[in-house]
Structure 1
Amino acid sequence: MAQHFLLSAQARTLSLREIYKGGEEKAYDTFKAMRWTDGEPVCPKCGCCEAYEITTRRKFKCKGCYAQFSVTSGTIFASRKMAFVDLLAAICIFVNAVKGISALQLSRDLDCQYKTAFVMAHKLREALAAEVAEHELSGEVEIDGAYFGGHIRPANFAEDRIDRRLAKHQTGTRRVVIALRERKGRTRTFVAKIEAEGVEIAKRIVSRMATTVYADEGSHWDHLHDGWTVGRINHSEAYSADGANTNMVESYFSRLRRMVAGQHHGVSPKYLHQYSAHAAWLEDHRRRDNGGNAMAVVANAMAHPVSRVWKGYWQRNAA
């Protein structure tokens, strides 16, 4: 099943078709090349570059500390059980979905358990988020926030319905995604309880040499004037005026809203930061072909250390 999707729907470049034709060995070589660019295995335990291969088990043994390791040891795919060709198929399906993919759909495509697909997708999101974790925004930067979650289902009978706008009736699961986006650059996202926290976030990640920071007329953005030249746009009057707009960040929120509503139907605040980072990565690389995106995800996954969130026991409490 996974190989079928890799060939027919996801692998649209020559390199991915060649990997499919080569089967498991070709996929293994791809992961190996992404892990060690010069082809020489490096022990993740001691850093020694001298190791010999145990060909019967696709493992290596370090000549320095005698530890055994595989191509995925110490990466996001550590202790993996899926075949390499299925991992590659999962990545191709994952990046091909322009507005995300649900774990249930991914599990059906790969013919694996829902929990396997759920954890794998979140591991990939964690690796993608690490790509911009240390990136400082510069140039022209747009900032805005959008609220997600906390929906209260109205009662059936009109006399039983409550005013869902009141604080006492809130569920406590509503969060705001604060997005900061460079024009013609990268997007960084954060999850907070109130939008005003975005000012402190901007102070941490936006360069003081940034040309202009653009925001709407929300009063909480007034403090941005203390650090940068700020362009403001009043959305009750216009969406863009004299170059002042937040259209790029609104474009990102459009993708994220459709991801949450159309694919996942609801997102726990516990994992909202990973879904928002996933949407940001898709938005930043929307013009790159699927093959390039797939190889970039493989490289990110092989460079990312073992996940401390998605390792060990199943995530029982999603609240």
Structure 2
Amino acid sequence: MSKQEFSIPKLVTDLKSEADAYLLLEQLRWGGTPDACPKCGTVGRCYFLNPANGSTRKTRTGSVSERRVWKCGGCRKQFSVLTDTIFHGTKISIRTWLMVILQVCSSKNSVSAWEISRQYGLTPESAWHMVHRIREAMKREPVAGLLRGAIQADETWIGGNPANRHRNDPRELPRKAGTTDKQPVFALVHYETREARSTVVNDVTANTLGDKIREWADIENTYLQTDKHTGYIKIGAEAPSHEVVDHSMGQYKLLGGAGTNLVEGFFSELKRSLDGTHRHVSIEHLDRYLAQFDFMFTTCKLTDSQRMRKLIGTVAGRRLTYMPLVGNA
């Protein structure tokens, strides 16, 4: 089944039990069997422990479990395909997890926790924690390589229109002229590969934008494409070329294709989702939503099934517990 295309009806039909769901997850994550112990890292000494019949076993309390357990021949610790992943400690069935992951991976404009709660019979809190754990797995690896080649850069602001606020809203207190309390977000999109990288930033000054571009791109091998925002002048001088489009003059694309249309398309899709699907996103969790849209935009040429396999390949080491998550809300 792991070589086939997935769909929600097919998962419902094929995953008749939790044992089937565990088998599929093991196939997607490990190719069937674990290469190394997640506890000590020992390679090639893990073996299947129980259930002996492949489907059910009795726990020490006498209850029946379909959880598949492996054991390491090195440290002698037991583990499962869930250990030290986004699934770690979950009380939600793995069948539900796989269906929700596929639904998130196939929803261009995302899916809200309330929708997941209603569709799968979960509490709103469990559904919210679940989708945030999925977004955690979508985060780009910190050691991912620097971008090279033609790169489009742009910035935007996330938040409600101040003109729509009630006059008694405390955020309507006098502010310095020309400032806003919206949250600035910066993004890069690689012109050839369509890889997107975005993040929350404190401001859109030359120092902030320059530092972010240097963090993500090999500036000596980067052909930068931006609008006329003055924050790009300094970093643009460090690149081999810096092509600029002037939106105020109705210019959106230069001869040869240079411009900011790709990164603006990324922002357009992001804002449609935040406004239409999620309605409200707190600043504390915005980076995790950005990671989701980076992942979806970067993998837009993949099928839903390929995107699901890619996501499950990144679940290890991404454990996200509930209390620290809400503690920052």
TM range (shorter): 0.7 to 0.9
Which residue of 2 is the match for residue 188 of structure 1?
197
Q: Measured at CA, do residues 165 and 254 of structure 1 come closer, stay the same or move farther in structure 2, by a change above 3 Å?
A: farther
Which residue of 2 is the match for residue 42 of structure 1?
36
Is this contact kept in 1: 2:26–2:32, CA < 8 A?
Answer: no
Which residue of 2 is the match for residue 259 of structure 1?
273
| TM-score normalised by structure 1 residue count | 0.84
Instruction: For structure 1, list consecutive stretches of 5 or more residues without a partner in the other structure.
Output: 1-10
Q: Cα offset for 1:95? A: 1.3
Is this contact kept in 2: 1:142–1:182, CA < 8 A?
Answer: yes
Query: Does 1:231 pair with 2:243?
Result: yes
Q: Cα offset for 1:119? A: 1.2
The correspondence for 2:148, drawn from 117, 120, 138, is: 138
Is this contact kept in 1: 2:22–2:68, CA < 8 A?
Answer: no
Secondary structure of the 1:109 match is helix
> Which shows bigger deviation, 22-31 or 270-279?
22-31
Is this contact kept in 2: 1:59–1:69, CA < 8 A?
Answer: yes
Q: Cα offset for 1:161? A: 8.4
Secondary structure of the 2:282 match is coil
The correspondence for 1:222, drawn from 196, 209, 233, is: 233
Task: Report the RMSD for the aligned CA atoms in angstroms.
Answer: 2.9
| TM-score normalised by structure 2 residue count | 0.82
Q: Which amino acid aligns with 2:148?
A: S
Which residue of 1 is the match for residue 97 of structure 2?
87
Query: Does 1:127 pair with 2:137?
Result: yes
Q: Measured at CA, do residues 169 and 315 of structure 1 come closer, stay the same or move farther in structure 2, by a change above 3 Å?
A: farther
Q: Which amino acid aligns with 1:259?
A: S
Instruction: For structure 2, list consecutive stretches of 5 or more residues without a partner in the other structure.
Output: 52-56, 58-66
Q: Cα offset for 1:115? A: 1.2
Q: Deviations over 1:12-32 (max 9, x none)?
A: 648983784243333212211
The percentage of counterpart residues that share the same residue type is 24
Would you say how many aligned residue pairs link Structure 1 and Structure 2? 302
Which residue of 2 is the match for residue 6 of structure 1?
none
Is this contact kept in 2: 1:101–1:263, CA < 8 A?
Answer: yes
Query: Does 1:54 pair with 2:65?
Result: no
Q: Could you say which structure has the greater relative contact order, defined with CA pairs below 8 angstroms and 6 or more residues apart?
A: 1
Secondary structure of the 1:119 match is helix
Structural mapping, 1:267-286, within 5 Å? 267-286=281-300
Which residue of 1 is the match for residue 112 of structure 2?
102
Q: Measured at CA, do residues 20 and 317 of structure 1 come closer, stay the same or move farther in structure 2, by a change above 3 Å?
A: same
CA distance in 2, matches of 1:259, 1:14: 22
Is this contact kept in 2: 1:149–1:268, CA < 8 A?
Answer: no
Is this contact kept in 2: 1:174–1:193, CA < 8 A?
Answer: no
Secondary structure of the 1:189 match is strand
The correspondence for 2:214, drawn from 203, 206, 214, is: 203
CA distance in 2, matches of 1:15, 1:244: 40
CA distance in 2, matches of 1:289, 1:179: 24
CA distance in 2, matches of 1:167, 1:212: 37
Which residue of 2 is the match for residue 5 of structure 1?
none
